[in-house]
Amino acid sequence: MAIAAGAVPRRRRRLTWRRALRGSVPYWLILPVAAALAAILGYPIYSLFRLSLQHYTLFELIRHEGQWVGLHNFGSVLHDAVFWHTVARTVVFTIANVGMTMVLGTLVALLLVRVSAWARILVTAGLVLVWAMPQVVAVQVWYWMTNYQNGVVNYVLTELRLGDFFHHDWYATTFSQLGLVTALIVWGALPFVAITVYAALSQVPAELVEAAEIDGARPSRVFRDITVPILRPVLLILTSLSILWDFGVFTQPYLLIGQAHIHPGNYLMGVYLFEEGYLHSDYGRGAAISLLMLLMVAAMSVVYVRRMVKIGDVE
């Protein structure tokens, strides 16, 4: 945009109105985007904010009119121990998920570089299939596999003589429940990270690696001092995006842990929002929770946005 604005020819200086028009072209160009964002993002946020200041339950829903209660909803959420426990649990959950996704994704990408062409095609096809599987279908498949009564995981683990897993209940403890959700999410997120990192790896100049090797650098040293610095922008962006996705995750925990197992002791933020807002029909409180969640997500995305801006500057 900056280039377009700077390119306005100087000799038309005299025709000020025309110059003004030319100068405003960039703004006209971004107008559709700005308008679209205001419509699909601005207005809902405004409505959400209004809703969060109201007592709005089923009773008000039927009458289409809430009662103004000021910041009461925010106060009640912030004084709710369940909220803070959920935030803490979600943060730990997010760190575990993002960490595993990034490490495993990078390892798969490094593997892709080293294997033969046919193996690479096979692995890539597998990754794309995982990526293409709808979340709900994936959850159902995982649920079947980990089923208590006749799940294939228990069967295989027992056959492999890793212990007696007959009637092992994978949904018995919160740790085990969230562990399954983590496995499912990491599995689903691997393809995106692996393929993106693999693409970035092709940017690492072969001469540089070769030169380092001639100088006697071991592979681990090459990876640390050459590959990682070159990959850093991509890794940072992937990490930031993964944090945003995993923090607000809803489908996997809600469907996999199942409605009968969901209770305040295993809430993640997305589930907490749904339970408090929808199932308890307390929409005002739900709106307050989603605004607080939005603030947290926005704070976390600062890193991502700053990185994007920096990369833009370099180019």
Partner 1 sequence: MRSRLFAVAVAALALGAVAATAAASGQRHQANKLTVWLQVDAQSGWPDVVAAASKEFEADHPGANVDVQYQNWGDHLQKFDATLAGGNTPDVIEMGNTEMTKYMAAGAFADLTSFRSSFANSRSWLKGLAASGRYGGKVYGVPYYAGSRVVTYRTDLFKKARINRLPRSVAQFTADARTLARANRATKGFSPVYTAGTDWYFAMSFVYDYGGTIARTRGGKWTGTLNSKQSLAGLTAFKRFFLAASRASKTSDENHPAPYDVYSQGGAGAIIGPAWFSCCVGNKYKADTAQFVMPSHVTGKSMPGFLGGSDLAVPVTASSKSLAADWIKDFTSTAAERSLQAKGNIPNATNLLGSSVNERAAVRSWFVPTAKHWVDVENSNVLRTMLAQILTGKASVRKAATSASRTITSVLNGS
Would you tell me which residues interact with partner 1 (CB under 8 A)?
37, 40-41, 43-45, 47-48, 51-52, 56-59, 61-64, 76, 147-150, 166-167, 169, 171-172, 237, 241, 244-245, 248, 250, 258-265, 273-275, 277-281, 283, 286-287, 290, 293-294, 297-298, 301, 304-305, 308
Q: Indicate the residue among 204 and 297 with the shorter CB distance to partner 1.
A: 297
Smallest distance, Å, CB 7 to partner 1? 25
Check: CB of residue 271 under 8 Å from CB of residue 247: no
Q: Indicate the residue among 44 and 126 with the shorter CB distance to partner 1.
A: 44
Q: Indicate the residue among 149 and 220 with the shorter CB distance to partner 1.
A: 149
Distance of CA 189 to the CA centre of its chain: 9
Question: Residue 168: what are its φ and ψ, rounded to 5°?
Answer: -75, 130
Q: Indicate the residue among 145 and 241 with the shorter CB distance to partner 1.
A: 241
Smallest distance, Å, CB 237 to partner 1? 7
Smallest distance, Å, CB 137 to partner 1? 18
Q: Indicate the residue among 54 and 106 with the shorter CB distance to partner 1.
A: 54
The DSSP result for the chain, as a single string, is -HHHHHTS-GGGTT-HHHHHHHHHHHHHHHHHHHHHHIIIIIHHHHHHHHHHTEE-BHHHHHHT--EE-TTHHHHHHHT-HHHHHHHHHHHHHHHHHHHHHHHHHHHHHHHHHHS-HHHHHHHHHHHHHHHHS-HHHHHHHHHHHT-TTT-HHHHHHHHTTSS--TT--TTSSHHHHHHHHHHHHHHHHHHHHHHHHHHHHTTS-HHHHHHHHHTT--HHHHIIIIIHHHHHHHHHHHHHHHHHHHHT--HHHHHHH-GGG--GGG--HHHHHHIIIIITTBHHHHHHHHHHHHHHHHHHHHHHHHHHHHHHHH-
Q: Indicate the residue among 143 and 198 with the shorter CB distance to partner 1.
A: 143
Smallest distance, Å, CB 221 to partner 1? 31
Q: Indicate the residue among 82 and 212 with the shorter CB distance to partner 1.
A: 82
Smallest distance, Å, CB 108 to partner 1? 20
Smallest distance, Å, CB 32 to partner 1? 15
Smallest distance, Å, CB 278 to partner 1? 6
